[in-house]
Structure 1
Amino acid sequence: MKKTTIRRATEKDIPQIFDLIVELAIYEKAKHEVAITPEQMVIDGFGENPAYGAIVAEQGDTIIGFSLFYIRYSTWKGRCLYLEDFLVNEEYRGEGIGKLLFEATILEAKRQNTNMMTWQVLDWNIPAIKFYEKWEATLDSEWINGKFYQDYLDNYKVRFLDKLEQNKVLLD
């Protein structure tokens, strides 16, 4: 096994991280949902107010895995690290790289003084579920996810402008 380095991601890593994101989206049968670009990821993650952080697993000059996360706030728990994506390239699985990357993410949650680390896993992704069970993670099947996509958000104010004005909702 080659030497694996676990480190914080830099702007230069984004093209390879993006490729892994697409790989994950294909695995999750959702490639069509990837709307972000590597250029936007650089702006969002390395600008004045970064929206996320990332840790990479690297062998030589190749990023073979990553975790991408951000801090969110729970009204019940306070500061939480939300693990948005976690992936080790398929050909490198079974070598302990996922363990190292996950440990680094847990340490980041501690470094950020969070009270909880949380993530989602698809109910059919049995290898990932087994991975998290090895960590004795609490897997909660009780919650149903809700979301609005960009087209809904873009059109919301237009569709409900009269209602907003009548109720004196100030958004601008």
Structure 2
Amino acid sequence: MNLEYHIREITKSDLESLFALFKEFTEFEKRPEALKNSLGRMQDEADLLKGFVVENDAKKLVGYVTHYEAYHTWSGKALHLDDLYLKPECRGKGLGSQLIQKVIDLARAQGCYKVKWMVSHWNEPAKEFYRKLGAEISNVEETCDLVL
């Protein structure tokens, strides 16, 4: 059976399904304990959640990309790609490329200087995918989080 996929902007009606995908992503990243978000928090903060989802022809979400606006002192206006995730059975179909292209197109439309994101050190398939897009991967900086 050949499924069709549709990419669209995230809506508030997606939150429950998105939260399930967030959980899957933390497991894929081998860090399920890192998920501190909750469905209730997502509902309270829904206006801040920006991105795109992939749904199949059965209207089930199978992937997403999230982003937010940023300003970098060294380069100016940017779009930060927070997460990109596809269910394993949906990889290799060009959906990841389509998702990231949506963010790139949005950044261009908004006059951003760049799109910035992070990738796990161990995730070589993702690094290769990003290099093919033309992204430069640097190991100069490390992530710092101060949990409040």
Same-fold status (TM-score > 0.5): yes
Distance 1:112 1:2 in 2: 33
Tell me whether 1:56 sits opposite 2:57 in the alignment: no
Question: In 2, distance between residues paired with 1:112 and 1:38?
Answer: 29
Q: What is residue 93 of structure 1 aligned with on the other side?
A: 91
SS in 1 for 2:26: helix
Q: Distance in 1 between matches of 2:45 and 2:19?
A: 13
SS of equivalent to 1:81: strand
Q: Is residue 8 of structure 2 the alignment partner of residue 11 of structure 1? A: no
Q: What is the deviation of 1:98?
A: 0.8
Largest Rg, 1 or 2: 1
Q: Distance in 2 between matches of 1:120 and 1:17?
A: 20
1:148 equivalent in structure 2: 146
Correspondences of 1:1-172 after superposition (within 5 Å): 1-46=2-47, 51-60=48-57, 61-150=59-148
Q: Name the counterpart of 1:155.
A: none
Q: Deviations over 1:99-153 (max 9, x none)?
A: 1111111112122221110000011011111111111211111112212112xxx
SS class of match (1:104): helix
TM-score (norm 1): 0.80
Separation in 1 of the partners of 2:108 and 2:19? 26
C-alpha distance in 2 between matches for 1:21 and 1:44: 15
Aligned length: 146
2:55 maps to a residue whose letter is E
Identity of aligned residues (%): 27
Give the structure-2-normalised TM-score.
Answer: 0.93
After the TM superposition, which segments of 4 or more aligned residues of structure 1 sit over 6 Å from their partners? none
Stretch moving more, 57-66 or 117-126: 57-66
Give the CA deviation at 1:2.
1.8
Query: SS where residue 83 of structure 2 aligns?
Result: strand
